[in-house]
Chain A
Amino acid sequence: MVSIAPAARRRTVATIALVGLVTLLALGSLGTGPVKLSPLTVLDALFGGGSDVQQIIVREIRLPRAILALAIGAILGLSGAALQGLLRNPLASPSLFGAPQSAAFGAVLMISLGLADVRSWALPVAGITMAFLSVFMLLGIAGRNAGLLLLILAGLAISSLAGAATALVMNLSPNPFAALEIAFWLLGSLEDRSFRHVTLALPFIVAGAIILMSQRSAFRALSLGEETAQSLGVNVSRLRLLVILGVALGVGGAVAVTGTIGFIGLIAPHLMRPIIGHDPARLLIPSALTGSGLLLAADIAVRLIPSTSDIKVGVLTSIIGVPFFLYLIMRERRALGGGVA
């Protein structure tokens, strides 16, 4: 029988290396800010040592931020890999079905109604509710056994609707400050997030991740096309529903506490394919780890980049992500033998 050892070993080594990298970045995230702390001081403060001030900085101020970066980066990477597996298309991303845009609309509505300051849970709850509504709308429009093209078109319509609704809310905002607050919130940031945000977002992120991971082997069968996967015993329409639900839960929860953070879900699986291979099932965990690493790194970078006002992490991921997306499109065009335009 053919040996499978070298590829399997490479995957294991890569995964362990990623875990190490993410751990280092998490420590870096805890140490970065107006008060710079060394990794050792961070570890010390994390487990109850060091001065009171250091403990408060690490455990109260920076730990929620690092946990959110870790979890949200992971769910974005995981969702991206899962959707690329479901659609068998390397250009798919979590924003495809409109869940993040709808979650953003829900959150923005709360900000404009002035509820975000009074009750900090109003924002995530509204975001997640809207993400769910978008899924029900999607299935209502496209039908239960809809094909992918129909789902994608319905998703496009829903994300446009959510975008339009967000614009309307900004348009109707009572004063320019509210509009500015919304605009800044939409840019996506992990600043000043507390443990309350963590407890609000994490259950949804974990639930979404569990749903997506439970379907992992089906993605592999789906590499042979929907018909063949069905003939191998995969319930393809159920799989489709579960993946969209998992993405809505996870990404909805994430967007609701941080605003929109783009392109991590698109990029993470691509960074892993040369190392892990193209098997969509094996890509899930490494993509989640890569997503964590990317968001942690971006969130450290926004704190280090000198600028007159804060650069939002969502802006940074988009500025890096868009050229990468363009590169992917160009490469796909070449791979498909598309005509020279």
Chain B
Amino acid sequence: MTDQTLLTASHLSVTLSGRPVLHDVAFSLSPQHLVALVGPNGAGKTTLLRALAGLQLSTGAIHIAGDALASLPLRERAKRFGYLPQGHVVHWPLDVKDVVALGRYPHGATDPARLTSSDKAAVERAMRATDIVAFADRRVTELSGGERSRVALARVLAVEAPIVLADEPTASLDPRYQIDVMKNLRDVADSGVLVIVVTHDLGLAARFADTVLVMSNGRLAAQGSPQQALSDVVVAKVFRISAYRAEHRNETIILPWAGV
């Protein structure tokens, strides 16, 4: 294993009620990368993300910085993965700052009213990075969908984990917020974190990701740079579409165009 590898998976399989959902998935990913995990509905993207976060029992091996994930206690695992689930549910009208402070839970800061100075600093950094300082004292239930998604992201960033897993963070957001969220995640990756993002938006994947993992029927159909992994052949085979491609300000545009 080289210094440049943070997360590896080998022979990773998941079976849900007798049905194989993930089959023999293998990859190795480096820090300071934004990885887009794409694939049609039911391809196993969320399952893969949950297996990585330790939320889903799997066979095979996952190693993070050389440690086997299965051997890590729950707390330790929680310190290494920031997990952003779909939907950003908050069941009680808690204050925004208290929700973000829950990101320090794996570090032993279980009460937002009693944070150590390093916990406070981490919470502050996370709120500044996501630009939510202005509504730190508001209740999370009073915020708009876009604002709430930033709070959820801030909570994940406050963990200050080496790996961030985000499950469709741009779903149900307006175009502006989609770009904001992806830019936020890009900044997080640039700061040295390995960010894995599940998305249905091939355009956002091509534009913001360094690496794209394409899933199909529980297997990895392709992996590599956006150009390689989202080639015409792969897109036609996996998504059964053709895509319009262009360049804009030195960035790649992929626009799903028609079924094939």
Say yes or no: B92 contacts A280, CB within 8 Å: yes
B85 an interface residue at 8 Å Cβ cutoff? yes
Say yes or no: A88 contacts B92, CB within 8 Å: yes
- In the bound assembly, the distance between CA atoms of A230 and B54 in angstroms comes to 9
Interface of A is mostly: loop
Say yes or no: A1 contacts B55, CB within 8 Å: no
CB distance from B185 to the nearest CB of A (A): 17
Interface residue total, chain B, C-beta cutoff 8 A: 39
Q: Give residues of chain B (50-98) contacting chain A, Cβ–Cβ below 8 Å.
A: 50, 53-55, 74-75, 77-79, 81-83, 85, 87, 89-95, 97-98
Which residue of the partner chain, among B98, B105, B124, contacts A232 with CB atoms under 8 Å? Answer: B105
CB distance from A148 to the nearest CB of B (A): 12
A224 an interface residue at 8 Å Cβ cutoff? yes
Q: Beyond A2-B97, A233-B78, is A221–B105 a contact (Cβ under 8 Å)? A: yes
The stretch of B1-9, B106-114, B192-200 in contact with A is B106-114
B213 an interface residue at 8 Å Cβ cutoff? no
A4 an interface residue at 8 Å Cβ cutoff? yes
- In the bound assembly, the distance between CA atoms of A178 and B171 in angstroms comes to 64
Which residue of the partner chain, among B53, B94, B97, contacts A223 with CB atoms under 8 Å? Answer: B94
Q: Which residues from chain B contact A280 at a C-beta distance below 8 Å?
A: 92
Q: Which residues from chain A contact B75 at a C-beta distance below 8 Å?
A: 233
Q: Beyond A228-B85, A230-B55, A233-B106, is A223–B90 a contact (Cβ under 8 Å)? A: yes
B102 an interface residue at 8 Å Cβ cutoff? yes
CB distance from B129 to the nearest CB of A (A): 15
Q: Beyond A221-B105, A233-B78, is A2–B137 a contact (Cβ under 8 Å)? A: yes
Q: Which residues from chain B contact A228 at a C-beta distance below 8 Å?
A: 83, 85, 89
A235 an interface residue at 8 Å Cβ cutoff? yes
A186 an interface residue at 8 Å Cβ cutoff? no
CB distance from A226 to the nearest CB of B (A): 9
A332 an interface residue at 8 Å Cβ cutoff? no
Closest B residue by C-beta to A280: B92
Which residue of the partner chain, among B50, B93, B102, B133, contacts A224 with CB atoms under 8 Å? Answer: B102
Binary contact track A1-43/B, C-beta < 8 Å → 1, others 0: 1101001100000000000000000000000000000000000
CB distance from A87 to the nearest CB of B (A): 9
CB distance from A224 to the nearest CB of B (A): 6
Q: Beyond A1-B124, A221-B105, A281-B111, is A231–B81 a contact (Cβ under 8 Å)? A: yes
- In the bound assembly, the distance between CA atoms of A235 and B111 in angstroms comes to 17
Task: Give the most central of A88, A222, A233, A281: most B CB within 10 Å.
Answer: A233
Q: How large is the interface on A (under 10, 10 to 19, 20 to 34, 35 or more residues)?
A: 20 to 34
B136 an interface residue at 8 Å Cβ cutoff? yes
Closest B residue by C-beta to A231: B83
B207 an interface residue at 8 Å Cβ cutoff? no
Say yes or no: A227 contacts B97, CB within 8 Å: no
- In the bound assembly, the distance between CA atoms of A220 and B101 in angstroms comes to 11
Task: Give the most central of A2, A231, A234: most B CB within 10 Å.
Answer: A231
Closest B residue by C-beta to A217: B110
Say yes or no: A4 contacts B102, CB within 8 Å: no
Say yes or no: A4 contacts B113, CB within 8 Å: yes
CB distance from B47 to the nearest CB of A (A): 13
Say yes or no: B99 contacts A224, CB within 8 Å: yes
Closest A residue by C-beta to B91: A88
B23 an interface residue at 8 Å Cβ cutoff? no
A174 an interface residue at 8 Å Cβ cutoff? no
Which residue of the partner chain, among B54, B87, B92, contacts A279 with CB atoms under 8 Å? Answer: B92
Listed in ascending order, the chain A residues whose CB lies under 8 Å from chain B are: 1-2, 4, 7-8, 88, 217, 220-225, 227-228, 230-235, 277-281
| Inter-chain pairs besides A223-B90, A234-B105, 12 sampled, C-beta below 8 Å | A88-B92, A227-B55, A227-B83, A227-B85, A228-B89, A232-B78, A232-B102, A232-B105, A233-B74, A233-B106, A278-B92, A281-B111
Which 5 A-B pairs have CB atoms at the shortest separation, nearest pair first? Answer: A217-B110, A233-B78, A231-B83, A88-B91, A278-B92
